[in-house]
Structure 1
Amino acid sequence: MCERQFHDTKDLIAHLKEHIVEGRAVTCPVIGCAHAFTVKSSFTTHMSRKHRGLTDISISDLFRESASQSSSVRTESDNFGAQVKETSTGTGTDEGDMDISEDFSDLFLRNVSLFYLKLQGEFLLPASTIQNTVEEIQNIHELGQTYSLSKLTALLKNDISLSDEDITRVCESVRGSDLFSACHRGPMRTAYSRTQTFKKRFNYVEPKKMFLGKDENRTDRFAYYVPVRETLKCLLESDLWQKSGEHSAESPTDVLSDISDGQIFKSNVFFAQNPSCLKLVLYQDAFEIVNPLGSAKTRHKVLAVYASVANLPLHVRSNTDHMLLVLLCREKDFKAFGHAKVFSELLADLKELEETGIVLSDETVKGTLYCIGGDNLGSHCIGGFTEHFSRSQYFCRYCLMTRSQFQGDDPNLCGPQRTAENYDAAVERLQTEDTPDVEGVKRKSVFNSLKYFNVCQPGLPPCLGHDIFEGVLSYDVALYQKYFIKKKAWFTYSSLNRRIKQFKYRASDASTKPCEVSPQAAKLSGQAIQNWNLLRLLPLIIGDSERCSR
C-alpha cells in the first residue's frame, strides 16, 4: 500500500486505520483472515474481538518485508510514541488512532476523561481554558520525561555499560509506553476529540432538535428533547441501578416517609400490577439566563423539564447529579406553539413506556408518570388551570373553593375536591360555552392522555421547598425571632446577626449561609435553602441567650 515500515504490530494496525480514513479498503493483516474493511470502527472492533492477542508471528507475509527490503526504506514511526506524536499533528481524528485497547490503558484513559469531563460539566470551565490546561500539562510532562530519560541514559551508559543502540531501544520503549502522552496527544488533544471520546466511552444520550414552527418574524423555532426511554435504559444498565436496586424497607404504618406511603401511590392500578416498574417524577420550571430586571427581561426565558426516578433510594434521588434533563424550550415558544407541540415527543415516550416498556437482555421494565412538580404558576399552566390567582373565582387546583368562600370567616374551610370526573366535565363545558374557563379549568392538560396519570389524582403536588421555606417558614421564623427579641428580650437583632455571621458553618452549609435578619422586615429574605439552614441551626446560634444578649 505504501512504503511505511513498522517494527511493532500495534503501530502497523494504527497505520492501516489511516488508510481506511483515506477511503482505501484494508485487508486484515492476520494469517488466514480474508476480511476487508472500509470503516475504521469495524476494523477496530474486528481486531479487538478476533485478534486481541496479535503477535508478530501472526502477521501475513503480504505485510512483511525481507531484511534487504527493510534496510532500503527508513521507518518513519518506530514505536507507539512516535505514532502518537504523528497523530497529534493532524493525521488522526480520534482515540482509535492511539489504539488504547488494553485493560490498564482503558482504565487510564477513563480516569483522564472523567477529570476533564468534571472540569467541563461540574466546574463549568470553558473549552478554551480546558484546552490550555491540556497543552500546558502535556508540556510540563514532556519536560519531566526528558529529564528522566536523560538520567536513565546516563545510568545505563556509565553504570551498566550498555551500547548506544540498546540504550536507544530502552528509552524508546519507555517513551512509547507513556499513556499520559498517548492520551493528551490523542483522544484528549482537542475539544472535538475530547467530546467524541466522552460520547464513546460513557452513556451519552444525544438531545433531539424538535422543529416547532416559525414565529411572527418567520424565524424557525426549536425545542430540545433528551429521549426519556433511552436515558432510562442507560440508567437500568448502569452500576448505580445494580447497586441501589429496589429499596424494600417499608415505613411504619403511622409514618409517612416516602411517596410510596401515600394513598395516591397505593391506589394506582399500574403500580399495583407492576410493583417493580419505574416511577417517574417530572419537575418543570422557567428560568432567566440573563438579567431578569433589564431590558432583555423574558426575552431569553427558558422552560426546563427534569425527571427523577422514585425507585432510587432517598439519598440518591435527592442528589442533583441523578436528576435527568428532559426538555428545554423558550417560554415564548412554549406559549406560542402550545403544550401539545412541545411535549409531543415526551408524551410519546411515556405512552410507550407504559405499554411496551424498556427491553433489556433478561427482562422488560415498564414505567409511568407519578407526578409533575413545580411552582404554582407552572403547575397551573401544565394542568390547564387558570393562572390569575388574584382575580380568578376558582384559584385552587386541588378543590373547588371560590374566592368569596375563601375570604369568609373560616380560614380552614375547604371546597369539594377536584376529581378526574368533574375535571373532564369542565373540559366538555368549555367546548360548548363561550367562557375563558369553567370552574378554574381553561384547557385540557395534554398529560391526561396518559393512561395511568391525571392532573387531578392529584398529580401536581406543591413545591415544598418554595412554598414552605420561602413562604410559611420565612414568616413564622421572623415572628418567633421578634417574640424572642421584643417580648423575652433574650437578645437583640444586632447580636443575632453577629452570631449568624460568626457561626462556624461546615460542608455545604458554608455556601448557603443564612441571611441577616432585618428588624423592619415581616419575613426572612433568604432563599429556601438559606431559610432551611437558619431554622435547622437556630438553636445552636442562639442557644446561649445570656452570652448572646451581651
Structure 2
Amino acid sequence: MPYTCFHCKQVIPGHAKGLFIHLRAVHGINYASTFFQCCEDGCRRTFRYIRSFRRHLLQHSVPEKHYRPEQHFGGSTGASVQGLSRTINAEMQNAEIADLETPTQENKDDDYWDELEPETITERIALFLATLKSKSAQTYSTVSFVVQQTSSLISDIVGSLQSKTLSLFEKLGHKDDSGVQKLACDFEEAKSPFKGLESDFKQMQYFTKSGNFIHPIEEALPGVSYVQRRDSATGTVRQVAVQDVFYRVPLKPLLTKLLELPGILDAIFTWQQRENGVLLDFYDGEYCKQHPLLSSKVSVPLLLYNDDCETVNPLGSKVVVHKLGFLYFTIKSLPPEFLSKLSSHFLVAVYKSDDAKTYGIDSVLLPVIEELKDLEVNGITLNTPHFKGEMRFSVAQLCGDNLGLNAILGFTESFSGNYFCRICKAHKTTTRAQTKEDVSLLRNKTNHAEDVHLANLSETGVKRDSILNNLCYFNVTHNQVADVMHDLLEGVGPYELKLIQSINFNSLIEDKHLTLEKLNFRITSFDYGFPDLKNKPSVIGRHELKNPEGAMHQSAAQTWCLLRLLPCMIGDLIPEENEHWELLLLLLECMELIFSPSLTPEAAVYLAAIIDEHHSLFLELYPNLHLRPKHHFMVHYPNAILKLGPLIQFWSMRFEAKHGFFKRISHVTCNFKNICKTMAFRHQMMQCYSLLSGSVFKSETEVGPGHSTLLAVMDGFGDVQSGLEDFPPFTETFIPAWIRVNGTQYKPGMTVFLSYTADGEPQFGLVKKILVLDHSVKLVVQNSLLDHHPLHAVQSYRDNDICLYVSLRYRIF
C-alpha cells in the first residue's frame, strides 16, 4: 500500500521501507530523530521513536479505509470550536497532496536508493555513538564496552553469514563472478562497522571535524593548588602544584552553527518584527527599544545566567569541595516555544565555586567578556539562503538568584547590609517599611561610578566595579531582572503562607478557623487535575509553622501549586473579610500578574498599586515585623516589566532544570579529578548529538492515540458546525485522547481560557473533544460561567453546595 510522508505530504508507493528511505534521503530524518507522524487513514498520531512509528504503520496495512463510530464524550450543548495557536507542523501548512496514481521521479529515485553506502553507514554509526555518549546516565567506559561487544557480535554474525553465502555461490559455480566478489567485499566491510571510530580519540576527531562538537577551551586562573600524588614505584606521597583552571565554550563557532540551522534566522526575524501592542517579550520593553545596538542594527540579544550548583550529596562530607559554578546563555530573540526546551540553553563556562571566591568571579569572566566585546563590535559572518552578512550580539540581561547577581554585578553579598539592593540606593531601614518604588533612589551609570570611586561598601552597597561594565552596550545598572522564582516561590510566598497559619501569631489556626490536621487533609485529598498532578505539594509539619522564617520543605513548583489552589482547598472554612486571608489573596493577585506571560503597560501600573496595598496590609497586621529584602524587590517589579517585558521569561526555573544533567553526570562518573573538564566535555557531547539529530530548537506538537472519523458522523457535529465552516462535512478528522502543544498537554475534561467579554471578564470552556484536521488542531469546548483563569473546576467542600470553584493562575491582559 502507499504511504504518505508527514513532512512533504508526498505519497510513497510500495512498502513502509520506501517511506523510511524517502525520509532519510530527502528530508534527512533518520532513526535518531524524535518526531514522526502517521498520515494514514486519517490518523495523525505522533511518535518519538522510529520503532514505535514503524510498528504503528503496520496496523494500516489494509488499503481500504474503515470509519469507526466516534467515542461518546457526553452532552455537547453550548459547545464551540477553538483553534490552538500553533499548527502540528509549520512546514506542512503550504504542502500539497501528491497524486496517488502517478509516482514522481523522486519516488523512482528512492526505489534505487542504496541504504548501505559507506558514507551513510559511517554517519549512522557516528549518530549511534553520539546517542550513547550524550546520555548522562552512563560513563564513557560503558560506551567503549558496548562498542567492543557490539563490534565483536556483528563480526561473528556477519562472518557466519559470509561463510554460508560464499559457500553456496561456490557450489553453484558463481565463485568468480564480479557480483559475488563485490558481495564478499561488502561482507568484509560489514564485519567492522566501527572502522575508523573504534576509539574515543577517533570518535572525538570525527565529531569535531563535522563541526557539531564545539571543543571546550581550558583557561588558566592566576594561582595553583597542591594535590597529593603517589609514586607508583616507591609508594611515597608528595605534594604537586597543579594549575587552577576552568573551561569555557567558544561562542563564535557555536553561534555560527546555531544561526545557520535551517529556519532559525527566519524565526528570529519574524519574532523581532511583530507588532501586537502588548508586553510579550524582551523586544517589547523600553530597554530594548532604546538600546543603541538592538534597536537599529542587525543583531541578536544574549541572555546570560550564572548560578552555583552542588554536584554531590548535599548532606555528604564533600558538600562544598565539589561545588561548581555554571554560566549559560540563551538566544533571546527566539520565540518562547523554542526557548522552553533545555537543549536551547547553552553552556558558556564551568568553574569551581572555591576558585571564584579565591580569585574573584572577574577572573573567570575575563575571557568570556573579551569574546563578547568582539561579538558586539565585529559579530560573526553568516551565509544562509535568506541572509548573508554580519550579525552582531549584545548582552540583554544577566539572570540568576539574588546572591549570585549581587556577586557578579559587584554589589554587596550581604542582605543585612545597609544598601543591599542592586536596583536602588534605599537604606535597609527605609526598605523595611517601603511600599512603593522611589524613582529618585534608582541606581544609574553616574551615581554608580561615584560609588565605585568612593569605595565604601557600608555607605554605597557597591563592592567593586564589575568587569561586565567593560562591554560596549551593557552596564550593571541596566540589569533590572528579578528572580521571581526565589523572591516569591521560595521567599515571600512560603513566608506569608506560614505567617497566616502560624501558631505564634493571630493566625487562621489561632482563631480556630482551621487546624493543621484539616489543612493537611485538604492538601492530600484535593483533586489537582492534569497539569498540577506532578507538582502536588507535601504536607506541612508543625515545626514549620513555629518558624515562619525557616524553610518550608517544598520545591518552587510545589509552592506555586499550593498557593494557587489554597483558596479552593480551604476557602470554605475562612469567614469573609478576614484580614489575614485578605493578605494572601492580595499576594495571589500580585502573582497573577507577575507570572503572566503577557501584559499591558496599564497592567504594570495596576500591579504597583496592588503591591503597595499588600505591603501596607502586611505592616498593619504584623507591627512587630518588617518587610524582608524580597518584599522590597517586589516594589521594583512594575518598572522592570515596563523596561524588559514579562518577568517570567527571566526566572531561574528552566536554568536550574539544566543543572540536573550535570548532577546526574557527577553521580554516575564519580570522578572529581578534573570535574570541570568532565562537565564541559559531556555537555558538549550532548549538544553534538542535538545538532546531529536536528533536535536543538524543534518544538513539535505531539498527538496521542485515538481514532479517525468523518466530521458529518461525529457526535454533536451540528452544535459545532459553525466553527468548522472551512472544512466540508465529509472531511476526515482524527480524535486523539490527548495532545501536547509547546509542552502543555490538553485532554478532554480540562478547562481552558477562551477570550474576554466586552466588559473585560474572562470566559472559559470545558474541553469535550480534540480534533486534528490536516495541519490544524481544534478544541471542541463547552462554555462555562467562571470568574478566573482555572486549571480545572473543583467541587466545594460545603454541604449542599453544588457550585464549581476554580483556582487563580494568571490573567492575560
Per the TM superposition, whether the score is higher than 0.5 is yes
* C-alpha distance 283-252 of structure 1, shift in aligned 2 (>3 A): same
* C-alpha distance 151-467 of structure 1, shift in aligned 2 (>3 A): farther
- Note the C-alpha offset of 1:213: 2.1
Could you say which residue in structure 1 is the equivalent of 2:264?
241
- Paired with 1:498 and 1:401, the residues of 2 have a C-alpha distance of 43
Could you say which residue in structure 2 is the equivalent of 1:36?
none
**Quick one: which amino acid aligns to residue 460 of structure 2?**
E
1:427 aligned to 2:455? no
2:400 is aligned, of 369, 374, 377, to 374
* C-alpha distance 417-504 of structure 1, shift in aligned 2 (>3 A): closer
* Pairing of 1:273-312 with structure 2 (within 5 A): 273-274=296-297, 276-312=298-334
1:132 aligned to 2:145? yes
Q: SS of 2:303's equivalent?
A: strand
8 Å CA contact 1:499, 1:542 repeated in 2: no
8 Å CA contact 1:395, 1:403 repeated in 2: yes
- Note the C-alpha offset of 1:536: 7.5
1:271 aligned to 2:280? no
Q: Deviations over 1:348-401 (max 9, x none)?
A: 1111111111123431111111111011111111111111102x1111111111
Could you say which residue in structure 1 is the equivalent of 2:463?
442
* C-alpha distance 494-230 of structure 1, shift in aligned 2 (>3 A): same
Could you say which residue in structure 2 is the equivalent of 1:225?
248
* C-alpha distance 128-383 of structure 1, shift in aligned 2 (>3 A): same
- Paired with 1:138 and 1:216, the residues of 2 have a C-alpha distance of 42
- Paired with 1:380 and 1:548, the residues of 2 have a C-alpha distance of 52
Could you say which residue in structure 1 is the equivalent of 2:134?
121
- Note the C-alpha offset of 1:225: 2.0
1:204 is aligned, of 192, 206, 213, to 213
Q: SS of 2:307's equivalent?
A: strand
- Note the C-alpha offset of 1:278: 1.6
Greater shift after overlay, 399-408 or 468-477? 468-477
- Note the C-alpha offset of 1:244: 3.3
* C-alpha distance 113-474 of structure 1, shift in aligned 2 (>3 A): farther
* C-alpha distance 351-229 of structure 1, shift in aligned 2 (>3 A): same
* C-alpha distance 293-492 of structure 1, shift in aligned 2 (>3 A): same
**Quick one: which amino acid aligns to residue 122 of structure 1?**
K
Q: SS of 2:334's equivalent?
A: coil
**Quick one: which amino acid aligns to residue 173 of structure 2?**
L
8 Å CA contact 1:496, 1:542 repeated in 2: no
- Note the C-alpha offset of 1:170: 5.9
8 Å CA contact 2:313, 2:319 repeated in 1: yes
1:404 aligned to 2:404? no
How many aligned positions are there?
Answer: 431
Could you say which residue in structure 2 is the equivalent of 1:363?
389
Kindly name which structure, 1 or 2, has the bigger radius of gyration based on alpha carbons: 1
1:386 aligned to 2:397? no
* C-alpha distance 513-118 of structure 1, shift in aligned 2 (>3 A): farther
Could you say which residue in structure 1 is the equivalent of 2:203?
194
- TM, length-normalised to structure 1: 0.68
Could you say which residue in structure 1 is the equivalent of 2:194?
184
8 Å CA contact 2:411, 2:462 repeated in 1: yes
Could you say which residue in structure 2 is the equivalent of 1:145?
158
- Paired with 1:547 and 1:300, the residues of 2 have a C-alpha distance of 53
* Pairing of 1:327-366 with structure 2 (within 5 A): 327-361=349-383, 362-366=388-392
**Quick one: which amino acid aligns to residue 455 of structure 1?**
V
**Quick one: which amino acid aligns to residue 211 of structure 1?**
A
**Quick one: which amino acid aligns to residue 305 of structure 1?**
L
Q: SS of 1:364's equivalent?
A: strand
* C-alpha distance 352-389 of structure 1, shift in aligned 2 (>3 A): same
Could you say which residue in structure 1 is the equivalent of 2:794?
543
8 Å CA contact 2:524, 2:539 repeated in 1: no
Question: Greater strand share, 1 or 2?
Answer: 2
- Paired with 2:513 and 2:362, the residues of 1 have a C-alpha distance of 56
Could you say which residue in structure 2 is the equivalent of 1:316?
338
* C-alpha distance 337-505 of structure 1, shift in aligned 2 (>3 A): same
- Note the C-alpha offset of 1:540: 6.2
Could you say which residue in structure 1 is the equivalent of 2:119?
106
* Pairing of 1:25-104 with structure 2 (within 5 A): 104=117
- Note the C-alpha offset of 1:411: 3.5
Could you say which residue in structure 2 is the equivalent of 1:8?
none
8 Å CA contact 1:505, 1:513 repeated in 2: no
- Paired with 2:563 and 2:186, the residues of 1 have a C-alpha distance of 60
8 Å CA contact 1:316, 1:322 repeated in 2: yes
1:162 aligned to 2:173? yes
8 Å CA contact 1:497, 1:517 repeated in 2: yes
Could you say which residue in structure 1 is the equivalent of 2:491?
471
* Pairing of 1:246-257 with structure 2 (within 5 A): 246=269, 247-248=271-272, 250=274, 252-253=276-277, 255-257=278-280
- Paired with 2:160 and 2:260, the residues of 1 have a C-alpha distance of 45
Q: Deviations over 1:168-189 (max 9, x none)?
A: 63651441453xx4442331x2
- Paired with 1:122 and 1:529, the residues of 2 have a C-alpha distance of 26
- Paired with 1:176 and 1:210, the residues of 2 have a C-alpha distance of 45
Greater shift after overlay, 115-124 or 448-457? 115-124
1:528 is aligned, of 536, 540, 556, to 556
- Paired with 1:118 and 1:182, the residues of 2 have a C-alpha distance of 19
Percent identical among aligned pairs is 27
8 Å CA contact 1:515, 1:530 repeated in 2: yes
* C-alpha distance 313-182 of structure 1, shift in aligned 2 (>3 A): farther
Alignment RMSD (CA, Å): 3.8
8 Å CA contact 2:272, 2:333 repeated in 1: no
Structure 2 unaligned segments of length 5 or more: list them. Answer: 1-114, 227-240, 546-550, 567-789, 801-813
* C-alpha distance 479-375 of structure 1, shift in aligned 2 (>3 A): same
- Paired with 1:475 and 1:220, the residues of 2 have a C-alpha distance of 45
Could you say which residue in structure 2 is the equivalent of 1:453?
474
* C-alpha distance 271-157 of structure 1, shift in aligned 2 (>3 A): same
8 Å CA contact 1:394, 1:440 repeated in 2: yes
Q: SS of 2:153's equivalent?
A: helix
8 Å CA contact 1:156, 1:162 repeated in 2: yes
* C-alpha distance 476-403 of structure 1, shift in aligned 2 (>3 A): closer
8 Å CA contact 1:515, 1:525 repeated in 2: no
**Quick one: which amino acid aligns to residue 400 of structure 1?**
K
8 Å CA contact 2:151, 2:192 repeated in 1: no
Q: Deviations over 1:19-56 (max 9, x none)?
A: xxxxxxxxxxxxxxxxxxxxxxxxxxxxxxxxxxxxxx
1:175 aligned to 2:187? yes
1:325 is aligned, of 319, 344, 347, to 347
8 Å CA contact 1:514, 1:533 repeated in 2: yes
- Paired with 2:320 and 2:564, the residues of 1 have a C-alpha distance of 35
- TM, length-normalised to structure 2: 0.47
8 Å CA contact 1:542, 1:548 repeated in 2: no
Greater shift after overlay, 375-384 or 112-121? 112-121
- Paired with 2:490 and 2:224, the residues of 1 have a C-alpha distance of 37
